[in-house]
């Protein structure tokens, strides 16, 4: 790779504080939605909100946004594996019960 | 010799981080298993899972979530501070991160203690008559939060070691990949909690 990699991007304090504020806001949202009795939405919404929060942590706190493409590709491979494994397990469960 | 002597020392900044990320992916799958199991049993025993979840104190869960999110902030701030060569600030922020982790574990200790004293633990008397759902919920709860707690403890030890290296100058504004990798581990612990918190405390 090139010489740029020895000079990592420095993430500003204000960006990190903004991400933290967003994470707290999303926590408030997900707690507020709890027990509202909206059917399967009650199960799906927390997972969606948690995924947005996880994305914020990974992208900004873990600096993925500022890494080279390779890091993003290996994350995509992992997410692909998550989908495949979940699909296979759900197929198995649906077939058994 | 110590990796800071000059341009010819053997260091691979990107390689170090790739190694850490690959390790974190294996950690992620360690927790993905129980979370997948949770979703399966949540659909099989919806009522039992809702009742079991209601016995957990959401207030404690929220407090611990805010604590871990804030500790993730202080960890990320510590890395920025180190990159800007602010050693004192870095050490203060690392101290704050470890302290938040310690308070998290103390809360978890009391939370677990309250449940165990009511006979709610794997094999406990309160769950004996509740083989359908309730026992599975608490089995997953104790396994996942226990495994997570061990990771919090490990993360605290790693950050303390990193802080000592910052203090000694082995981690500095020119060579901070060990601090970054310590931070990556701590953030992963936070990401896992981001999923564990709603599945045990909020999906009801």
Same domain, A51 and A94: no
Is A91 buried (19+), middle (13-18) or exposed (0-12) by CB count in 10 A? exposed
Same domain, A27 and A38: yes
A3 has a pLDDT exceeding 70 = no
ipTM rounded to 2 decimals: 0.90
Same domain, A27 and A8: yes
pLDDT given for residue A6 in this prediction: 52
pLDDT given for residue A4 in this prediction: 45
Same domain, A5 and A41: yes
Same domain, A60 and A75: no
Same domain, A62 and A72: no
Same domain, A61 and A78: no
Q: How far apart are CA A71 and CA B131, in angstroms?
A: 44
Of A27, A30, A61, the CB nearest to B66: A27
Tell me: the pLDDT tens digits for B113-147?
999 988 888 877 777 766 678 889 999 999 999 99
A34 contacts B13? CB cut-off 8 A: no
> Token pair for residue A68?
């080279």
Same domain, A89 and A78: yes
Query: Which domains does chain B possess?
Result: 14-202 (1.20.120.80)
Instruction: State the best of B9, B14, B64, B96 to mutate against chain A, taking most chain A CBs within 10 Å.
Output: B14
Tell me which residue range forms the domain holding A15: 1-66
Q: How far apart are CA B181 and CA B162, in angstroms?
A: 10
Same domain, A37 and A54: yes
Contact in structure between B22 and A75 (CB atoms under 8 Å)? no
Q: pTM value?
A: 0.91
Q: Which of A23-27, B20-24, B85-89, B132-136 has the lowest mean pLDDT?
A: B132-136
- Residue carrying the six token digits 């997953």: B140
A-chain CB neighbours of B204 within 8 Å are 34-35, 42
B73 contacts A61? CB cut-off 8 A: yes
Tally of domains in chain A? 2
| Number of A–B residue contacts, CB under 8 Å | 110
Same domain, A1 and A30: yes
């Amino acid at each position: 790779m090139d010489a740029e990699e020895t000079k990592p991007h420095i993430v500003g304090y204000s960006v990190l504080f903004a991400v933290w504020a967003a994470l707290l806001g999303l926590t408030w949202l997900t707690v507020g939605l709890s027990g509202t009795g909206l059917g399967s939405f009650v199960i799906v919404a927390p997972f969606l909100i948690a995924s947005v929060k996880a994305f914020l942590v990974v992208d900004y706190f873990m600096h993925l946004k500022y890494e080279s493409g390779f890091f993003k590709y290996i994350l995509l491979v992992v997410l692909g594996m998550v989908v495949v494994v979940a699909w296979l397990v759900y197929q198995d469960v649906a077939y058994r019960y | 010799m110590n990796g800071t002597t000059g341009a010819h020392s053997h260091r691979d900044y990107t390689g170090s981080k790739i190694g850490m990320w690959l390790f974190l992916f294996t950690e992620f799958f360690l927790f993905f298993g129980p979370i997948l199991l949770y979703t399966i049993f949540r659909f099989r025993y919806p009522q039992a899972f809702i009742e079991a979840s209601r016995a957990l104190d959401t207030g404690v869960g929220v407090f611990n979530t805010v604590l871990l999110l804030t500790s993730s902030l202080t960890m990320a701030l510590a890395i920025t501070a180190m990159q800007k060569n602010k050693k004192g600030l870095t050490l203060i922020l690392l101290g704050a991160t470890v302290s938040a982790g310690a308070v998290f574990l103390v809360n978890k200790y009391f939370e677990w203690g309250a449940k165990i004293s009511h006979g709610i633990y794997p094999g406990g008397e309160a769950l004996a008559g509740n083989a359908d759902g309730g026992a599975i919920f608490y089995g997953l709860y104790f396994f996942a939060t226990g495994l997570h707690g061990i990771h919090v403890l490990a993360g605290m030890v790693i950050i303390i070691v990193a802080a000592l290296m910052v203090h000694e100058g082995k981690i500095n504004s020119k060579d901070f990949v060990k601090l970054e990798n310590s931070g990556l581990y701590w953030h992963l612990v936070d990401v896992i909690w981001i999923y564990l918190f709603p599945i045990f405390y909020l999906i009801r």
